[in-house]
Amino acid sequence: MLSFSGVVKRYAQPEGEVTVLGGVDLSIAAGEAVALLGESGSGKSTLLHLAAGLDAPDAGRITVGGQTLAAMDDRALAALRRGTVSLVFQQFHLIGTLSVADNIRFQAALCGRLDTAFEVELIDRLGLRTQLDKYPHQLSGGQQQRVAIARALLHRPALVLADEPTGNLDERSSGAVMALFHDLVKAAGSALLMVTHSREMADYLDRRLWLRDGRLHDDAS
């Protein structure tokens, strides 16, 4: 579903150029859930951005669903993000001028894939049934994150990229949301690459990768 081969990413810093990713190879199969762990600043988010085509690598090749990102223009990348790849961030970025119901449907509406039965399932399982007519600013942080999750999954994207999706929530609710999130990703049939710094969160998933010194490692060793 997602593959990196020999991906290199460098950033210009005041102290000189820093190599964040020094030749990363990665392969995630369809429906597979992978946790990406690592220290702060190890380049986890960068890797995720590259996977979503939000940023371009300095070397190497990234493919999503068999398509090479480097070969895609802006329009094709937008199409990829609206239909194939969903992003869930620590900040929820709900659309303030739309109702909760409209926010949930937003991405599905963009790509024109609305599965009403799945929508009912998502809303019910995320406990948003009573919130549908409200506006984002009327919800709590946890509720907003649930809306963001529903929005990301409703159109059953092939790949979900999540960056600390529960980072803004307290520990207890974050555990519950995390479990639910994992279940729903499975229900949507999506592959998942999730950045986290929590081993506990990572344990929910099929596979764990560590990013250290710009390279991926299979275990904590």
Nearest CA among 193, 181, 168, 174 for reference residue 51: 193
49 or 61, CB closer to another protein?
49
26 or 80, CB closer to another protein?
80
Between helix 74-83 and helix 100-111 the angle, nearest 10°, is 130
Write down the least CB distance from residue 112 to another protein, Å: 10
Write down the least CB distance from residue 211 to another protein, Å: 15
42 or 45, CB closer to another protein?
45
The residues of the shown chain that bind another protein, judged by CB under 8 A, are 45, 48-49, 52, 54-55, 74-75, 78-83, 87, 89-91, 93, 95-98, 102, 105-107, 109-111, 136-138, 151, 163-164
- Compute the distance between CA of residue 6 and CA of residue 10 in angstroms, rounded to an integer: 13
**Around Cβ 89, how many Cβ atoms within 10 Å?**
19
Write down the least CB distance from residue 141 to another protein, Å: 11
Nearest CA among 110, 204, 214 for reference residue 152: 110
Between helix 116-125 and helix 141-153 the angle, nearest 10°, is 160
Amino acid, single-letter form, for residue 202? A
Amino acid, single-letter form, for residue 208? R
Write down the least CB distance from residue 197 to another protein, Å: 13
Write down the least CB distance from residue 70 to another protein, Å: 15
| Secondary element (H or E) of residue 46 | helix 44-51
Residue 208, both tokens: 């764990």
16 or 96, CB closer to another protein?
96
44 or 208, CB closer to another protein?
44
Nearest CA among 18, 21, 17, 7 for reference residue 59: 7
Write down the least CB distance from residue 219 to another protein, Å: 26
8 or 106, CB closer to another protein?
106
Q: CA dihedral defined by 9, 14, 15, 17, rounded to 10 degrees?
A: 20
